[in-house]
Chains A and B, each alone.
Chain A
Amino acid sequence: MSQPFFKHGIETARRRPALAGLLYGMNLIIGLILTVPIYIALSSVTGASGFAANLTNQFDITLWADIMEDAAPAFQALVGQLIWILPVYFLWKVASSVGIIHTLDTSGVRSFWHGVGEYTGKAVLLGLVFLVHLIVLGVGIAIAVVVFGMIWPGEAGVFWIYFVFMPVSFVLGAAVIDMMHDYARMELVIGERPVMESWLSGIRWPFRYGGADTLYVAWFVLAGIILVLPTIIDLNMGGIWLVFLVQQIVLFLRATATVGWFGSEVLFYQTAMAEKEPVLADVEVGLTKSTVG
């Protein structure tokens, strides 16, 4: 039932490499800029030390302890910058999302940047509302952790509550909020609805359309697997540039997944809106209608 939408997403991803490139490029630039001080600090500390070549092949805690002693400020600055960049990145995420939704709107040819310019302000407000959701989720999980901790004290309890329940419930909860947020943004951009109306409509989506849930889960799993790959590559491959190159290919693939994900959801939204009914029945008809516009 969600398959045609998923396929449409894959097709969208294939057809819009420039969008993926934009998302990928921004993350790459931020990553490289933030880590330049690390490069400078480490090359001054290890460049002429004679140990650099050994350390690229094997971890040595003794030498790294010496390195960290000398290069600690650079690493501390990295953490500081990551925190500082949060609000800026929030703006970028909001802007790029509305831009993508706008440009993937199947009802006509629309510009990414036009979407950014027109909807970013309202989408920021919407984003702040969903940030409140996230905070509520965090507080709710914290309360649940405390309650479960009282019901199930002891070591096994600590393990399951802190290492299983807490991360899993956060990821699942955040995924539900993210899905609500996606559809609320579509209400805002495609449906041209006000912020609060978009929010109210968005939070109902996971409960109204089973097909939307299935679609979200499919993309969530695929995108999740792709996102873990760079870490697996990092831990299992030697060398410098080749690893980076392979990682970048995977990360670009991850950006295309984001585009495809939006593509699927936009089509699902428009189909649902067009039919004003749950889109579980005549998907093919809806799909044809939507794509034809």
Chain B
Amino acid sequence: MSVTRTVPNAINQSESTLNKIAVCTLLSFVAVANAFAQEPTISKEPLSERRVSYTMNVTLNPETKTVTGTERLTWRNPDSVPVGELQFHLYLNAFKNERSTFMKESGGAHRGFTAGDEDPWGGVQITRMQIVPDIDADLTPAIPSPGATDLTDRIRFIQPDDGNQDDETVISVMLPRPVQPGETITLDIDFESRMPEIVARTGWKMGESGEPFFMVAQWFPKIGVYEIPGQRYVPEDAERGRWNTHQFHANSEFYADFGTYDVTITTPESFVVGASGRIQDEVIEGGYRTVRYLANDVHDFAWTASPDFLVYEDTWRHVSIRLLLQPVHEGQAQRHFNAAKTALERFDEWVGEYPYTTLTLVDGLGGSNGMEYPTLITCGTYYKLPEWLRGLELVTIHEFGHQYFYGLLASNEFEEAWLDEGMNSYIETRIMDDAYGVGAVIDIAGLQVSDISLQRVAYTKSKASRVRMVQNSWEYPFGDYGTASYSKPSTVMHTLERYLGWETMRRFLRTYYERWRFRHPTTRDLQDVAEDVSGQDLDWFFDQFVYGTATVDYAIDPPLLVSPQSEEGDEVQYRNRVRIVRNGDGIFPQTLLVKFDDGSEEVREWDGEEKWIEFEFLKPARMSEAYIDPDNRILIDTNRLNNRRIRNTLADGSLARMAQLRLASFVHQLLVLLSGLL
């Protein structure tokens, strides 16, 4: 078959910065051009260790909702001892039936989405798994006999997390001969993935046009991470490494090794395809569209297909941005691009360079939205979403941030979700507020809500005391996963930023990125970087707020005590006393600002360790106000209102009066409205 590429016919679009490309229109056949043959990263050299490599050739059948194909997987044994077992994730089996661990934990719902089809189930079936004997004569282990190369019958399901025998999301394959240290093994795997109706992230959903939308994610047999001694939490002196594979849970995401993906996807011609990596070539033949993608130095590969997508393209420096938009959201393309560029700019400035040359933004359907895959993210918006409500910007910036926090800094999302979701929420909130100001999320008629404060309130007002940030995701009680993985870490990291100062925090972020990109950092590694960069022992901080459940609440203990003490000449001396109490079990150094009637101010520092402390000021003026944390630096303080106190005689009822009067007018309006109905 001759290799050709098709160029969709371009249509001029009124939004001048965009190129809207017509889908399903005339397609011209042109010889391979170098435009598509660009590198998927900014480097011609490998950027990661590349322990794995996948070459896949798959076909989507929209009628049966299946993706069938072959996968050639090469895995290199990184250990210093032979490894005789391989473990794989079959994530899609989470949607196989109601007995899977995911379905049992989630009750069949995820972020409010459920399946409604008569047959919503999915799953992945391996029809053949075979060792390829001669892929690389030097590195492939010698195989005793051809019969021993077929591993299909050696596949068995294991349940490392909960022992649920009905869960088929992890498999173990014992090899006929171990893979020697440093050797690679190549397997050919034939598989059929039946996509479920979308409940969580992956599957199909019928679009408004009656055509199906596919988000093909967690879809192929994927080898687990083999952690060697010294890697993550495997002791340096352990005899051998171990597989780190977890089942698919309701509250958890993923973990995989970096490598290369060379994926050829065939769909009906009418489908628009988007995928991780960079497109290499595209062929239309016999009513089918075949697209080949290359993604290097990534640890996952996802793709999407739908005949409905509107396609828009834009660029940011070295990055080609492609947006696949639902027709109902036409007119919101520029908002997507602006948000993506806002994120790209700031990540580049604050964390490090985006090393990939593509970014695909997918406006998916239902539960597929708000998810991240290497160089491809699903966003999410609503019809006629007003400009003052920046949900679209928030989700786009958040999901882009995952290109760094889990994409490049590939922590184990099963075991330490805060390292990706939490660190990402910290940067997301910072970007949102930096880019859009105090009304970053909501900005209408004086009601301004910033992203940082939204996350702060989500943490401080939600059972904050019971949540540790470092814990297996699936072991959180219902509802606590969100606080532990998003709002608490965001608020904790903003507090650390204000404690260390932004310049130190920025150096920490850049150093963390430089030291751990394309690797698997842990919480310990992150703390080490923070301590190296700041030159401080931060155990007190991490032990309490990251590993621990401590909550911070310091308060001025009312009332402020002021009494005349002595008279020196004409001047009356006042004994001013203020007591600070520590209501929470968390300890955090405090700054106290005291103001006096004569306009003078005093500042005191306190290590915050005792249950309470009293400060006394003998001054020729009465104390008017006492204020702890006056610069609002300790965002983890669960009650800010009690941080400040004025003298009782100065009590100010203005807010109460204003609220009452405005509410009274509002009630009056309600009554008038009501009288129209009665």
List chain A positions with a Cβ less than 8 A from chain B: 27-28, 30-32, 34-36, 38-43, 45-53, 55-56, 58-63, 65-67, 69-70, 78, 82, 86, 89-90, 93-94, 127, 131, 134, 153-156, 158-159, 174-175, 178, 227, 230-231, 234-236, 240-241, 243-244, 247-248, 251, 254, 258
Contact = CB atoms under 8 A, between A and B. Distances in A.
A178 B677 contact: yes
Contacts of A55: 655
A127 B678 contact: yes
Query: Which of B445, B447, B665 has most chain A Cβ within 10 Å?
Result: B665
A65 B446 CA distance: 17
A94 B69 CA distance: 74
Interface in B529-558: 558
Interface string B637-678: 001111011111011111111111111111111111111111
Nearest to A38: B660
B446 A235 contact: yes
B461 A65 contact: yes
Contacts of B450: 61
Contacts of B641: 45-46, 49, 51, 63, 66-67, 70
Mostly, the B contact residues are helix
B208 interface: yes
A93 B675 contact: yes
Contact of A155 (B208, B447, B661, B671): B208
B651 A47 contact: yes
Interface stretch (B414-422, B423-431, B451-459, B499-507): B451-459
Interface of B: 208, 328, 382-384, 445-450, 453-454, 456-457, 460-461, 558-559, 625, 627, 639-642, 644-648, 650-678
A39 B656 contact: yes
B654 A240 contact: yes
Given A47-B656, A159-B382, 5 more contacts: A38-B663, A46-B652, A48-B559, A53-B652, A251-B665
A56 B654 contact: yes
23 contacts: A27-B667, A28-B668, A31-B665, A31-B668, A35-B663, A39-B653, A43-B653, A47-B651, A49-B641, A50-B645, A51-B655, A59-B449, A61-B453, A63-B640, A63-B641, A69-B639, A156-B208, A156-B383, A227-B669, A240-B657, A244-B662, A247-B665, A251-B672
Mostly, the A contact residues are helix
Query: Which of A38, A131, A236 has most chain B Cβ within 10 Å?
Result: A38
Given A38-B663, A240-B661, A69 B461 contact: yes
A114 B314 CA distance: 75
A159 B666 CA distance: 27
Nearest to B208: A154
A282 B328 CA distance: 54
Contacts of B328: 154-156
Nearest to B644: A50
Nearest to B329: A155
B644 to A, nearest CB: 4
A155 B381 CA distance: 10
Contact of B640 (A66, A82, A154): A66
B349 to A, nearest CB: 27
Given A43-B653, A240-B657, A244-B665, A65 B457 contact: yes
